[in-house]
Amino acid sequence: MRKVMFAALAAIAVTTSASAQAHDDQPPSSSEKPWSQADAYFGKETMADARRAVQAGGGAQNSFYVLFNQLEAQFSDESESLYWNGQASWGDDINKLWIKSEGRTSLNGDGTEDAELQALYSRAISPYWNLQAGVRHDFEPHGLTHGVLALQGLAPYWFEIDASAFLSEKGDLTARFEAEYEFLLTQRLILQPRIEANFSAQDIAERETGSGLNSIDAGLRLRYEFVRELAPYVGVEWQSEFGGSRDYTRVAGGDPDQVVVVGGIRTWF
Amino acid sequence: MLSRRHLLHYTLGAGAALGVAGMLPAWARSSSDGNLGITSASGTAFDLEIAEFPVRINGKTGKAVGINGQLPGPLLRFREGETVTLNVTNKLQEDTSVHWHGLLVPFQMDGVPGVTFPGIKPGKTYRYQFPVRQNGTYWYHSHSGLQEQLGHYGPIIIEPSERDPIAYDREYVLVLSDWSFTDPHRIYAKLKNNAESLNFQRRTLPDFLRDAANSGFSDTLKDRAMWGKMRMSPRDLADVGAPTYTYLINGHSTAENFNIVFHPGERVRLRIINASAMSLFNVRIPGLPMTVVQSDGLNIQPIETDEFQMGVAETYDVIVAPEDDQTYAFVAESIDRSGQAVATLGPRPGLRAAVPDLRPVPSLTMKDMGMSHKSMAGMSDMENRPTMSDMSGMSSMDHMTHGDMPLTAMGPDPHGPPTQLASVEASLKKGPGVANIAAMPSSRLNEPGIGLSDQPHRTLTYSQLRSLEPNPDSRSPQREVVIHLTSNMERYMWSFDGVKFSEVTQSIRFREGERVRLTLINDTMMPHPIHLHGMFFDLVNGGGDHKPRKHTVVVKPAEKLSVDVSAEHVGDWAFHCHLLYHMHAGMMQVVSVLPSTDKMPMDHDMMGHDMPMEHEMPMDHDMMDHSAMGHDKPEEMK
C-alpha cells in the first residue's frame, strides 16, 4: 500500500509535466505572434508589451483564497475546546499552492491537543477535481512530518470532498476522508452536514491509534450568512472512536463516544 | 412628497420639455429629482477626460471611473459622413481606453489595448479620429481592466445624412447599467473563490416544498437529483445580481426615478443601450406596446412587441405612442429577477409610475443543458413546461444549422450556402476549463430571452428580426468557422474552444474580402452576448437577404447559431463575450482580417490555436464564387 502511494506521488509529477505541454499542439515559433497588425502604427516593442498585459489579464491572473470552514468552540460533558479547520490557496486556474490546517486547543488549560499544517501543490486535473501532493507537519501532540497525497473537489450531487493519505516519517500510513453538503433553507440560512473519518493502516501506539477505521465525526451546522463571507453558526457533532483507538481512549479513562455542541464563525475571503 | 425646491426643478423641467421644445435636445427634456438627463456634446471635435469622481446612488456615495465626471458619460452626437476627432485624456493612475462600440473605424482607432493600440497611459492623451460611416444608436466604453463596471461608458447617437426612415416627435436615450459599491476586482475575486456567492436567487427549501406540492415529492426529488448529479444549478442565470448590483437608467436608480416626458399622441423614440458589465435586462412598459425599429444601430422592419431581453452591449430603438394622459413604468428587469431599474414615462415631469413587483425567478431547463432527446425523455416535466412547446421544432432544426432557413417553410433560399461548407472546428475535450459540451445544441432563435417563454404577452425573438434595407453583401459564405463557448462555472473559467485569451497563440484569421460563416455553439448554461469588433454579424435567422445585422449577438445556453460576416476591414479585431468578468476570465479572442494580398494558405495558419481542420469538402478555388468576390460590388460601408 505504501508502494502504491509512492507510485501515485511519482505519477503526479509526471502528469504535471506532461499536461503542461498539452496546450501547445502547434510548434512554437518565435516569429509568429498571435496578432501583429498594430505594430505598424505603434511599434513592435510597445505593442508586444501591451499584448502581454492584455493577454495576462484574460485568464492568467492568480487568485488568493482563505477559508475557515470551522472556527468554533466545542462543548462536551468532559471538556471545552477551540477547534479550527481552514485552508488557503494561491495560484492560477490550474496550479495552486494549497495550505490546510486543522487543530484543537483546550479551553480548560490543557494546552493544544492537535495542530497540523499542510503545504500542498494542487493541480486541477478535471472539471471538478484537484490532485494535491505535499507535506504535513504535526506540531502537536508530537512533532511529526508526513508526505501527503490528496484528492479534493466536488462530487456529483454537490458533495465537497477531501480525501487525503498520509505517510509519516516513521513509515505509518493513515488516511482521512471529509465530505460536506449544503442545504439552503433560505438564501442565507444554510444547514451544513459534515462528516470526517480517519483510518490507519497500522496500530500506532504512541498516537493511541488503532488500525482500520479509528474515528468518525459527524456534524450538523446551521449558519446564517449576513454577508456571504461571514457566517456565525451553531451546531452539534457526534464524535466516535472505533477499534483500537476506542480501546486506547477507554484505557485512558476517556469516553470514545461524545456529543459536542459547537458554535463558531465560518469565514472566507 | 415633493418639496418646493423639487417642484421648482420639475417646473423648469416641464418648461424645457413642453414649452421650449427645440431649444434643448430631446434627451434633456426630462427631469428627475432635480437632475436633468445626461449632458450631450455634438460637433466634430470632442474632449473627453477619464477620471475618478464621486457619485451618489440611492443616497450612498460611491467612487466612479468615467468620462467627464458623469455617469453615464456625455451623449456624443455625430453626423453621418463627418470626420470626428476625440481627444481622450487619462487622468487615472492606470491605463485606460475608449472603444466605440459598433462603429466601423480604422482598426488603430478601435481602442482595444494590446490588440489595436497600446492603450492610454496615465496623464496621456490619445487622439481618436475617424470618418463616421453609419447612423443610429451606439455607445462607447472602456476596454481596459474592469473600468466598465465603474461607470466608464456613454451613449452615441449618429444622425443620418439622409432622411431618417423612422418618424418620431421626441427621443430619449436610455442607458441601462449595473452599479456596485463593491470594487470590481473584489467582485471578480469573489466569483473566482465562490462562483455562486453573488447569486441570491438559488433554489431553497421553500422552493422544494412548493415544487413538491405542485409536481409531487418524487418528481421534485428526481429533478433535484438530476441537477445535483450534473453539479449544475438551474438558477445560474446571472453571476452577479442584486443586492451586489443597483440597476440604473441613465445613472438613476428606481428610487431616483428617471423621467421620460411625452405629450399624449406623440411618437416617442427610446434609444435603449445595455451598458451593463454583467446584466442582461428584460425590457417592458406594461400597458404600452413597443415597436422595435432598430437594433445595434441598424434599422429593422418595425415589429410590435411587449417585452424583449437585451444582452449586454446590444441596443434597441423602440417607438412608443402613448395616447392617454397617464404614467407608464419603463422597466428594465435583470435576467435573474433579483432587481430592476424603473423609469417613469409620463405626460408631465415629476410623476412616478407604480413600480411593478419583481416577477418570480425562472429556472433553467434541461434544454439549456443541451441534453439529447433520450436523456430528456426521462426527466421530470416540471421545469420544462414553459419551453416544451418549442421542442416540436427541434427535429427540423437539426438539419438546418447550415442553411439559411431555420424555422419557417420558406423554400430553398437562392442566397443560401452550399449544404456543406468547409468547416473549421476545434477538437474539444472536457477538462478543468470545460465542464460541459452540449450533446445536442439546437437553434433557439425562435425563443425569446431566457425566462420569458411563459409570459402572457408578446415577447421578441431573434427569428422575428428583419433588416429594413437589403443586406449589402448577399454572397454565400465560402467557409465556416465554428467556435464553442466554454466554461467551468465551479472554477469560474470562461473561454472560447476551451482556450483562455491568456493561452491564445494565434488569432482567428479571415482574409480581406471573404465571406465567412461564424457558427457559435454555447456549451455553457448561460446566455453570452458575443461581440465582434470591426464588422457586423448578419444573423442567419431565415431572413434571406434581410438578415438583421448586429454587432452583438446573444447565444443562449446550448444554442447553436450562425452569423455570416464580410471581412471588409483589414485589422486585428477583438472578439469576446461582453459579460465583463467572462472576458476578464479569458472569454476573448482576436479576429485578424489580413489584407487580401497576403499569402493565406488554408492550412494551420488559418486556424488559430488548437484547431485541427476538418475538410468536410474539398476547398479549392473552383468552389469559390469569384464573381461575388470582386471589389466592384456595392458595399455599404465604403
CATH number for position B42: 2.60.40.420
Q: Is the pLDDT of residue B177 over 50?
A: yes
- Interface touch B230/A156, C-beta < 8 Å: yes
Residue type at position B158: I
Predicted confidence (pLDDT) per residue in B8-25, tens digit: 333 333 333 333 333 444
Q: Is residue B526 part of a domain?
A: yes
pLDDT of residue B596: 83
CB atoms A59 and B200 under 8 Å: no
Cα A269 to the center of its chain, rounded Å? 16
End-to-end CA separation in angstroms for chain A = 38
Instruction: Select the more confidently predicted residue: A131 or B407.
Output: A131
Residues of B in contact with A23 (CB under 8 A): 499, 503, 609-610
| Mean pLDDT computed over B231-259 | 95
pLDDT at A20 over 60: no
Amino acid A141: pLDDT: 87
Predicted local confidence at residue B39, as pLDDT: 85
Interface list for B 534-593 with A (CB within 8 A)? 570-572, 583-586, 588, 590, 592
pLDDT in tens, B155-169: 999 999 999 999 999
Contact across the interface for A25 and B493, Cβ inside 8 Å: no
Q: What's the pLDDT score for residue A181?
A: 97
Average pLDDT in the B602-620 region? 38
Residue B598: predicted pLDDT: 57
Alpha carbon of B360: minimum distance to chain A alpha carbons (Å): 15
Look up residue B331 and give its three cell numbers.
Answer: 422597466
Q: Calculate what percentage of chain A has a pLDDT beyond 90.
A: 74
Domain positions in chain A are 63-268
Residues B254 and B531: their CA atoms lie apart, in Å, by: 29
pLDDT, averaged across chain A: 88
Reduce the DSSP state of residue B439 to 3 states and report it: coil
Q: With a cut of 50, say whether residue B108 has pLDDT above it.
A: yes
Across B66-75, average pLDDT? 95
Residue B154 · residue B73 · CB < 8 Å: yes
- Whether residue B264 lies inside any domain: the answer is no
Closest by Cβ to A55, choosing from B112, B495, B504: B504
Query: What band does B602 get if pLDDT is binned at 50, 70 and 90?
Result: very low
pLDDT at res. A183? 96
Instruction: Give the residue-averaged pLDDT of B433-447.
Output: 94
CA B294 – CA B465 distance, rounded (Å): 9
Q: Report the pLDDT value the prediction gives residue B211, as an integer from 0 to 100.
A: 94
Residue B566 resides in a domain: yes
The better pLDDT of the pair B411, A181 is held by A181
B136 touches chain A (CB under 8 A): no
Measured at the CA of B625, the angle between CA B623 and CA B627, to 5 degrees, comes to: 150
Which of B181, B233, B497, B572 is best to mutate for the A interface (most A CBs within 10 A)?
Answer: B572
* Total domains, chain B: 2
SS3 per residue for chain A: CHHHHHHHHHHHHHHHHHHCCCCCCCCCCCCCCCCCCCHHHHCHHHHHHHHHHHHHCCCCCCEEEEEEEEEEEEECCCCEEEEEEEEEEEECCCEEEEEEEEEEEECCCCCEEEEEEEEEEEEECCCCEEEEEEEEEEEECCCEEEEEEEEEEEECCCEEEEEEEEEECCCCEEEEEEEECCEECCCCEEEEEEEEEEEECCCEHHHCECCEEEEEEEEEEEEECCECCEEEEEEEEEEEECHHHHHHHHHCCCCCEEEEEEEEEEEEC
Q: Once rounded to an integer, what is the mean pLDDT over residues B519-533?
A: 97
pLDDT score for A139: 95
Mean pLDDT lowest among B388-402, B500-514, B557-571:
B388-402
pLDDT band at B373 (very low <50, low <70, confident <90, very high): very low
**pLDDT-based confidence at residue B419 (cuts at 50, 70, 90):** low
Task: Note the pLDDT of residue B420.
Answer: 66
Helix axes B217-230, B205-215, angle to 10 degrees: 130
Contact (CB<8Å) B502/A52: no
Q: Say whether residue B506 is in contact with chain A using an 8 A CB cutoff.
A: yes
Average pLDDT, chain B: 84
- B208 near A CB under 8 A: no
Residue B468's pLDDT is: 97
Model confidence at B632: pLDDT above 60: no
Q: Domain range holding B590?
A: 421-451+461-616
Largest CA distance in chain B: 77
Grid cell for residue A87:
485552508
Residue of B434, B500, B609 with shortest CB distance to A58? B500
Residues of chain B found within 8 Å of residue A128, distances taken between Cβ atoms:
231, 435, 490
Instruction: Kindly indicate whether the ipTM for this predicted assembly is greater than 0.85, answering yes or no.
Output: yes
Between 3.30.160.40, 3.20.20.70, 2.40.160.40, 3.40.718.10, what CATH number should domain A63-268 receive?
Answer: 2.40.160.40
Q: Pick B310 or A253 by higher pLDDT.
A: B310
The verdict on pTM exceeding 0.90 is no
Residue of chain B nearest A95, judged by CA positions: B432
Does the beta carbon of B618 lie under 8 angstroms from any beta carbon of chain A? no
